[in-house]
Amino acid sequence: MPNIFIEEIAHTPIEQQDIEIVERKGVGHPDSLADGIAEAMSRALSQEYMKRLGTVLHHNTDETQIVAGRAKPEFGGGEVIQPIYILLVGRATKEFEGSYIPADRIALRAAKRYVKQCMHHLDVESDVVFDVKLGEGSTDLKDVFRRGKVPLANDTSFGIGYAPLSETENLVYNVERRIYNEFRKKNPGVGEDVKVMGLREKDKIKLTVACAFIGEYISSLNEYDSLKSEMKNWIEDITSEYTDRDVEVFINSADCYETGCYYLTVTGTSAENGDDGSVGRGNRCNGLITPGRPMSMEATSGKNPINHVGKIYNLLANIIARDCAESIEGIEEIYVRILSQIGKPINEPRALSIQVIPKKGYEVNKMSRSIREVVEMWLEDTTKITDKVINGELKTF
């Protein structure tokens, strides 16, 4: 297959660099909330199109915006004064060959359901105002969407992926996930809005965790401080599962007890009080923000899973990189860049670049055939990506 370029690059592997910065925004962070809502709407529309018409129609819901509300959190309670405003904006096909699809209602229902599922103290009826503004897609893009047996790229854009994750990346990702899935469930005073920032300085890692605590479950400053200490100790205990490096943990480091400043919320998210959110401003599709790695600035969440290369190529690049790193011996790091050309089949990218840093004693030219086989396997059936996205098997943030 043409347009596949495999080369060795001379670059210091991330683990050997003195400084590494890694960030993850948890599901309750306003940017992640926007991502999750956008993706939930796209998935619901795709499923409904399939159910009604046997095919997914053109849509994109990747411009969802969250405008923060106002709240008055207090120990033992508090209240939302002004609800969070969520603008569900994008494009959707609402009529096709005489059939009408209630896209606005489908999107609204999906958005409310998603917020209910991931935010357990945010009342979607009283704490949130949803505004649905789904327009129709452009005629040109809708035409490109329907042409040919193989989907045609709807844009000239690129996707980027890499593997394997570094120790710090793996640590940051898992600390947030385990706070959400484990620590929070045993401690109801912990909200869903958790951000983890990791800084590795040579062999020392500092984790700064911003976590929204919920006033309803915390009766006093002493209880707040005790919960912070418990979280800090818990994180320090689990870090040994991911690294042997020294790890220092900071929780809600902006707190100033003397002035009454602490991260207390009513609903478990900073969106209740001054923190807005937008699709694509948070995690990349591998769940991390990694300024030491190549990244695409495309918002992956909410784009249609059929021919929007901003979604498909970012997911595909990460999958190809991961599969190569796991199955081919001798890869220290691998970077995948995939460029589309609008109107061309998505399984025929304009360029697919593979850059490899080999381990000592290995040669990239001896890996090239195996790498190419992995690439061609995925390009032969890009609909695997589509199916996994619609079924919710691939995360986009």
Write the pLDDT tens digit of every residue in 215-237. Answer: 999 999 999 999 999 999 999 99
DSSP 3-state assignment of 235?
helix
Question: Cα–Cα distance between 117 and 89 in angstroms, integer?
Answer: 21
d(CA 259, CA 379): 58
What is the per-residue pLDDT for 139? 47
Domains and CATH numbers, the chain: 4-21+156-166+281-390 (3.30.300.280), 30-146 (3.30.300.10), 173-277 (3.30.300.340)
Q: Which helix (H) or strand (E) holds 238?
A: helix 221-238
Decide: 5 and 383 in contact? Cβ < 8 Å.
no
When pLDDT is cut at 50, 70 and 90, the band that residue 143 belongs to is low
Reading phi first (left if > 0) and then psi (alpha if -120 to 50, else beta), residue 382 is in alpha
User: CA torsion angle for 236, 180, 296, 327 (degrees, to 10)?
Assistant: 70
| pLDDT over 50 at 384, yes or no | yes
Q: Give the residue carrying structure tokens 């209240």.
A: 79
Contact 390, 320 (CB under 8 A): no
**pLDDT > 70? residue 239:** yes
H or E element, residue 365: helix 364-380
For residue 151, the SS3 value is coil
Question: What is the spatial distance between Cα 196 and Cα 11, in angstroms, rounded to a whole number?
Answer: 27
Listed residue (54, 60, 133) closest to 96, CA to CA: 54
Q: Please check the confidence at residue 164 and state whether its pLDDT lies above 80.
A: yes
What's the pLDDT score for residue 140? 54
So what's the pLDDT on residue 381? 87
For the stretch 108-129, pLDDT in tens is: 999 999 999 999 999 999 999 9
Q: Are 305 and 255 in contact (CB under 8 A)?
A: no
Kindly tell me if the per-residue pLDDT of 169 is higher than 90.
Answer: yes
Q: Give the largest CA-CA distance in the chain.
A: 66
Q: For residues 291-320, give the mean pLDDT.
A: 96
CB-based contact 307:143 (threshold 8 Å): no
Query: Once rounded to an integer, what is the mean pLDDT over residues 302-308?
Result: 96
Cβ(117)–Cβ(162) under 8 Å? no
Rounded to 5°, angle at Cα 288 from 284 and 294: 65
Element (H, E) at 6: strand 4-8
* pLDDT in the model for residue 136: 86
φ and ψ of 220, to 5 deg: -160, 170
Average pLDDT over residues 62-81: 97
CB 190 within 8 A of CB 169: no
Confidence check: pLDDT of 142 > 90: no
Q: How many residues does the chain have?
A: 397
* Residue of 286, 244, 383 lying closest to 24 (CA atoms): 286
Pairing of strands 19-25, 190-201: antiparallel
Give which of 223, 250, 230, 233 is closest to 186, Cα–Cα. Answer: 230
Amino acid identity for residue 37 in this structure: I
pLDDT of residue 148: 62
Phi, psi of 32 (to 5 degrees): -70, -35
Phi and psi at residue 311, to the nearest 5°: -95, -55
Rounded Cα gap, residues 46 and 383, in angstroms: 14
* pLDDT reading at 314 higher than 90: yes
Strand locations in 45-165 (E): 59-60, 65-67, 70-74, 77-82, 84-92, 95-96, 99-100, 128-135, 158-163
Q: Which amino acid is at 45?
A: L
Residue 147's pLDDT band (boundaries 50, 70, 90)? low
CB half-sphere exposure, 229, CA atoms < 13 A: 6
Q: Which residue has the higher pLDDT, 141 or 166?
A: 166
